[in-house]
């Protein structure tokens, strides 16, 4: 019998939103302590955006909630850390 050609829910791009948010959140949280701020300044809002989208998709049963929440929190912490370091 041939394999099914119908995509499964695990095949959607929404599954990658949580891990993408987590990676960007880690970059955002760690990078401010390195002398180059622009990557952390860009990664923080992207991590929050992807994390919120990942939490929405995980609530519908696609993807994982824990990675999306962790990425959102780390992205917010990293972005706030960059802003605090920029203040005089």
> For residue range 15-28, what is the model confidence (pLDDT) as tens digits?
899 999 999 999 98
pLDDT tens per residue across span 30-54: 877 776 667 878 999 999 999 999 9
Mean pLDDT of 5-20: 74
Phi, psi of 39 (to 5 degrees): -60, -40
Q: Kindly tell me the number of DSSP H helices and DSSP E strands found in the chain.
A: 3, 0
Give the pLDDT band of residue 83 (cuts 50, 70, 90).
confident
Residues in the chain: 88
């Amino acid at each position: 019998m041939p394999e099914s050609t119908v995509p499964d829910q695990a095949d959607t791009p929404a599954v990658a939103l949580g891990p993408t948010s987590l990676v960007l959140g880690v970059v955002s949280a760690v990078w401010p302590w390195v002398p180059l701020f622009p990557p952390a300044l860009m990664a923080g809002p992207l991590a929050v955006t992807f994390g919120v989208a990942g939490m929405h998709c995980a609530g519908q049963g696609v993807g994982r909630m824990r990675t999306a929440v962790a990425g959102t929190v780390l992205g917010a912490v990293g972005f706030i850390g960059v802003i605090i370091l920029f203040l005089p």
